[in-house]
């Protein structure tokens, strides 16, 4: 472990890097279940079989725990007690705060002022120290750098980091291992692209499926970047899928270009309908970001075995207010 801590990844994760990340984090995380639903299969209408990877049931309520813990364990020796800092709309912030707590480190989380209260509460519950900023990528990045300068903490980018990508890849590794049928297409939500890049690599090394990125039409920078071949930042994202409002990471972009089959755009109405269907038919409480993969899978009209990553389950719950 000590040798691994001294050598954070500086290149695209290999097959061995992903397996090492999985061994490293497995003692601390849940091996989340594969969820199937006859009702959801019927709603698809094509005869496809859907296999949902339930990472909304992961530690901290999202897949982000995988990458954050892998990065923290890998960088702990270099942190030398100064802790870690990141910027996040919520899920990665909570995950980093949790991972830092697991290793006895401090965590400093920069969050946009419009972050959901549920995600703010999650960060504080794991002992993270929050600094709020304006809800723009520029403000998040500059504030995180200021906090880093003040504290000496190691900056762990929420998605543009190879150790993060290797950790996120373990969700798809498990999906491929645990699904009862060989998957032919895997649907993965995309915001910053850490999950999608990791899924694409895991499938490249361990599977044979097509990988489809699923993005809100109101935050379509990954779609534009993928189809133009030029990295394009997000502008004024207004989607209910708050976890998918971030710009595609520079390290993730070439991985996605090479190993992802396509990116599909989902309307806000599709996201809302898919979210309602998951909650009502499977009784799984997912956040709107997780509905992106579901919405795209329900469009799929080929008889195939489909994998869908349910990426998180953190959202405000105020039905009686």
Sign of the Cα torsion 144, 131, 135, 139 reads negative
Cα 181 from Cα 208, distance rounded (Å): 12
Residues linked to residue 264 through DSSP beta bridges, in sequence order = 214
**Catalytic residue ranges:** 64, 89
- Cα–Cα nearest to 257, from 237, 229, 280: 229
DSSP code, position 278: I
DSSP code, position 81: T
Q: Are 313 and 61 in contact (CB under 8 A)?
A: yes
Backbone angles phi, psi at 196, to 5 degrees: -65, -45
Cα 17 from Cα 40, distance rounded (Å): 35
């Amino acid at each position: 472990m000590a040798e691994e801590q001294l050598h954070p990844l500086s290149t695209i994760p290999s097959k061995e890097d992903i397996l090492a990340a999985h061994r490293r984090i497995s003692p601390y995380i849940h091996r989340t279940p594969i969820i199937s639903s006859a009702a959801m299969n019927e709603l698809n209408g094509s005869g496809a079989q859907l296999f949902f990877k339930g990472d909304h049931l992961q530690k901290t309520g999202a897949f982000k725990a995988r990458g954050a813990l892998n990065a923290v364990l890998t960088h702990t020796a270099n942190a030398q007690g100064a802790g870690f800092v990141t910027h996040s709309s919520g899920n990665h912030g909570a995950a980093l705060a949790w991972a830092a707590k697991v290793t006895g480190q401090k965590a400093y989380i920069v969050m946009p002022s419009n972050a959901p209260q549920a995600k703010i509460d999650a960060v504080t519950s794991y002992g993270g120290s929050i600094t709020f900023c304006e809800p723009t990528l520029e403000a998040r990045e500059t504030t995180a750098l200021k906090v880093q300068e003040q504290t000496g903490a190691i900056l762990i980018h929420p998605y543009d980091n190879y150790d993060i990508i290797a950790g996120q890849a373990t969700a798809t590794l498990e999906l491929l291992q645990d699904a009862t049928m060989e998957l032919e297409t895997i649907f993965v939500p995309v915001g910053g692209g850490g999950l999608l890049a990791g899924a694409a690599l895991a499938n490249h090394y361990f599977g044979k499926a097509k990988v489809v990125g699923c993005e809100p039409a109101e935050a379509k920078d990954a779609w534009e970047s993928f189809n133009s071949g030029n990295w394009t930042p997000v502008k004024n994202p207004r989607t209910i899928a708050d976890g998918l409002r971030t710009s595609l990471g520079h390290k993730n972009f070439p991985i996605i270009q090479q190993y992802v089959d396509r990116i599909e755009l989902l309307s806000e109405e599709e996201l809302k309908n898919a979210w309602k269907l998951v909650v009502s038919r499977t009784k799984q409480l997912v956040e709107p970001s997780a509905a992106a993969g579901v919405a795209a899978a329900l469009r799929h009209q080929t008889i195939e075995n489909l994998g869908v990553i349910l990426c998180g389950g953190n959202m405000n719950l105020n039905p009686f207010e």
